[in-house]
Amino acid sequence: MRSCTCGKPIKSESATNVRFWDEEYCSRYCREYDERGLEMVNRADMLKEKGSKHYKNFSGMWDYPSIKAKCICCGEETVTLTKTNDQDKPYCSRTCHSRIHRMPKARKNQIVFTMLRVMKHRYLNYEGSEQWLSGSAMYNIMQKMGGHPFKNGYPMIMKIWAGRGLLLKKDNNYRNEEGNSRKEVIYCFNPAHLDKPLGKAFYECAGAKWE
């Protein structure tokens, strides 16, 4: 089992892992911490800045800093991540949470939006052919969610979102285990939408009103 930069094991196969698609870090916090090149901070220094009279008692203690991150829905840098709590907090507010879970032009919003998070993650963190996924490959990844429906509906879901412009698609020729030639449709996140928050791209491509 691989270990995260913090030393914890990365349980990518666990149904309790809310970031089951990330095979390099145990949490959103650790990815942000490592990619930004942050360092642990002296607890005494933090307490001194806050005006504590007893800061000297903590001079030998080191803590992970709080991190300001962007909401994956609206893009505002108002999400506070900490190592002990809210390691994977995606939304800045109940409003943004509700925007995703109640978006009017998508069925099973949470599953669809999670699928799009997986696709964007792969585009940003993988290269070449690994950025592309078939409906069957996506189904195998999404099964890690736990309590996921048995029937594979991802080929149709991905086709819909390719039609809406949030994904790209192309035909792919491959050979199966028996060595026979086969053709499948594979999909990739559309980089034209990388400059906007995923939640806003979700609404825009569906033709739904943001407000």
pLDDT band at 81 (very low <50, low <70, confident <90, very high): very high
Q: Are residues 79 and 149 in the same domain?
A: no
pLDDT band at 189 (very low <50, low <70, confident <90, very high): very high
Q: Please say if the pLDDT value at position 190 is more than 60.
A: yes
Q: Are residues 6 and 22 in the same domain?
A: yes
Q: Are residues 74 and 132 in the same domain?
A: no
Q: Please say if the pLDDT value at position 15 is more than 60.
A: no
Quick one: pLDDT at residue 159? Answer: 96
CA–CA distance, 18 with 126 (Å, rounded to integer):
20
Quick one: pLDDT at residue 93? Answer: 94
Quick one: pLDDT at residue 195? Answer: 94
Domain boundary at 98, 133, 155, which?
98
Long-range contacts of 149-153 (CB under 8 A, 24+ apart): none
Q: Are residues 1 and 75 in the same domain?
A: yes
Domain boundary at 98, 120, 141, which?
98
Q: Are residues 8 and 63 in the same domain?
A: yes
Q: Are residues 91 and 122 in the same domain?
A: no
Residue 177 within any structural domain of the chain: yes
Cα Rg, the chain, nearest whole Å? 20
Q: Are residues 145 and 85 in the same domain?
A: no
Residue 211 within any structural domain of the chain: no
Residue with the bigger pLDDT between 159 and 53: it is: 159
Residue with the bigger pLDDT between 134 and 52: it is: 134
Residue pLDDT, tens place only, 84-97: 888 899 999 999 99
Q: Model-level pTM?
A: 0.86
Residue 1 within any structural domain of the chain: yes
Quick one: pLDDT at residue 158? Answer: 95
Mean pLDDT of the residues in the chain: 89
Domain boundary at 82, 98, 114, which?
98
Residue 161 within any structural domain of the chain: yes
Residue 207 CB-half CA count within 13 A: 5
In a 10 Å sphere around its CB, with 0-12 CB exposed, 13-18 middle and 19+ buried, how is residue 111 labelled? middle
Q: Are residues 119 and 198 in the same domain?
A: yes
Average pLDDT score over residue span 149-158: 82
Average pLDDT score over residue span 143-150: 68
Residue with the bigger pLDDT between 203 and 150: it is: 203
Residue pLDDT, tens place only, 108-136: 888 899 999 999 999 999 999 999 999 99
Domain count, the chain: 2
Q: Are residues 92 and 117 in the same domain?
A: no
Q: Are residues 108 and 62 in the same domain?
A: no
Q: Which domain holds residue 13?
A: 1-98
Beta strand 181-189 with 133-134 is antiparallel
Residue 49 within any structural domain of the chain: yes
Give me the phi and psi of 67, to 5 degrees please. Answer: -125, 130
Quick one: pLDDT at residue 146? Answer: 65
Extract the tokens encoding 3.
């270990």
Q: Are residues 91 and 111 in the same domain?
A: no
Q: Please say if the pLDDT value at position 58 is more than 90.
A: no
